Amino acid sequence: MNSFDLVIRNGTVVTAADTSICDIAVRDGRIVAMGEGLEAGREEIDASGQFVLPGGVDAHCHLDQPMGPGVQMADDFESGTRSAACGGTTTVIPFAAQEKGASLKAAVEDYHRRANGKSCIDYAFHLIISDASQDVLVRELPELIEAGYTSFKIYMTYDDLKLDDRQILETLAVARREGAMTMVHAENADCIAWLTETLEAIGHTAPRYHADARPSIVEREATHRAISLAELVDTPVLIVHVSGREAIEQIRWAQGRGLRVYGETCPQYLFLTAEDLDKDGFEGAKCVCSPPPRDKANQAGVWDGLENGVFQVFSSDHAPFRYDDDKGKKAAGDTAPFQYIPNGIPGIETRLPLLFSEGVLGGRIDITRFVALTATNPARIYGLYPRKGTIAIGADADIAIWDPKVEWTIRNAELHHNVDYTPYEGMQLRGRPVTTISRGQVVWRNGQFKGTAGQGRFVPCERPQPARPRGESRGF
């Protein structure tokens, strides 16, 4: 009875709070003991000189999400979660997206079919609400929240997804009543449409103009409006994929007022700029994502936000489209105006190594903050903690062992996604996850993927905040 399935020895164990050198024992997929000189396990891993971290929780990634006609995501649950595991991530939370006019529940059922038997690591779902009909708000959404789908994303832009302010208010009111978390894609749709038409009229249609059609002011205004709507309803919101200083100022302002406003950013806002969209021919399409990457000053602002606590969550926003593919970036042809290029870039495997190398080993954030941003906070905010996102007795044995001495170069040929490029090709990094463990099973070790499709399980989320029945406080 006392025997352990696995013991990880002598590593520097890091949580969002502490660092200590100790052994970790695993039985039946959970952490059951931590201490010095633990007895032998059936399998042993020596982690001397290495960091033992909670596996990453990637709380913003898109896998096998149904797209418009003629466009297909490059990664399904198998290739996407394989890539995640090889980059030190052990939980993903992709999106079950409702189509306008369709049922939200049907979207969840369809998404389970896509994940089932394919995922190599554990997963939960966020919802995307694109049609805030009475049936969705009154019936489907409360039932889904009760069943463990406790967070959803809403969009202020994209014609096929966006909600207007009234619909956002009504959706936020449901989040408050039912105890759910709302994620907001904050960009002003009308400003973008007007700028896009204006640019097109003067022939500015190359990929680089994508950035001009979505300037910071468009993101700043929507961020402020999302915060105001959430303040009116008195419920928390998380502003996703924040790209630069102006939106950060809005979030900091809200946090200073004591509002429960959270911020998320992503690698593309630390390592890319709008210049990456301005490459020869159509190459800039590889870095078309929304909001777009900005400039060096904004990159510095995003680093500041990670250091000083404006941001709680660091996600990939992995949205995988192949470049040289008529269902990917070239779906509308290789001279298509920028507004027809599928939005999104890959990054599920490079998320953690980029932040570890440049953030932790670069001296910008300490390693406990790295754990908080990439695992503990997302697990807490979305209701998976303490089962996920930390190293503690009773938690799932989801662990990434990092060797800070490894030096390596990002090469797409060596990544495990199904995308034919990475925006970070050729970047030299220090530190890498050398072993990833998912519920006690080694899924990545010494450069080899060891997992199997289907071993990952669906994990329902707890309510991130207490439900507040009608009548309390503001009378909702």
Contact residues toward Zn ion (CB under 5 A) are: 185
Is residue 223 within 8 Å of residue 239, measured between CB atoms?
Answer: yes
Residues 175 and 167: their CA atoms lie apart, in Å, by 12
Across the chain, which distance is largest between two alpha carbons, in Å? 74
Residues 233 and 11: their CA atoms lie apart, in Å, by 46
Q: Kind and range of the H or E element at 54? A: strand 51-54
Nearer to Zn ion, 131 or 187 (CB): 187
Closest residue to Zn ion, Cβ-based?
185
Token code pair at residue 388: 């996920």
Is residue 45 within 8 Å of residue 411, measured between CB atoms?
Answer: no
Q: Which of 118, 218, 104, 109 is nearest to 153 (CA)?
A: 104
CB of 241 to Zn ion, least distance (A): 6
Nearer to Zn ion, 239 or 352 (CB): 239
CB of 61 to Zn ion, least distance (A): 11
Nearer to Zn ion, 155 or 385 (CB): 155
CB of 236 to Zn ion, least distance (A): 18
CB of 186 to Zn ion, least distance (A): 9
CB of 132 to Zn ion, least distance (A): 17
Residues 369 and 377: their CA atoms lie apart, in Å, by 10
Nearer to Zn ion, 53 or 222 (CB): 222
Residues 441 and 423: their CA atoms lie apart, in Å, by 31
Nearer to Zn ion, 88 or 263 (CB): 263
What ranges make up the beta strands (E) of 28-150?
30-35, 41-46, 51-54, 56-58, 89-92, 95-97, 122-123, 126-128
Give the type of residue at 111.
Answer: Y
First to last CA, the chain: 53
CB of 402 to Zn ion, least distance (A): 29
Cβ neighbours of residue 446 under 8 Å, at least 6 residues apart?
434, 435
Nearer to Zn ion, 50 or 188 (CB): 188
Nearer to Zn ion, 185 or 210 (CB): 185
Cβ neighbours of residue 430 under 8 Å, at least 6 residues apart?
357, 361, 404, 405, 406, 407
CB of 238 to Zn ion, least distance (A): 12
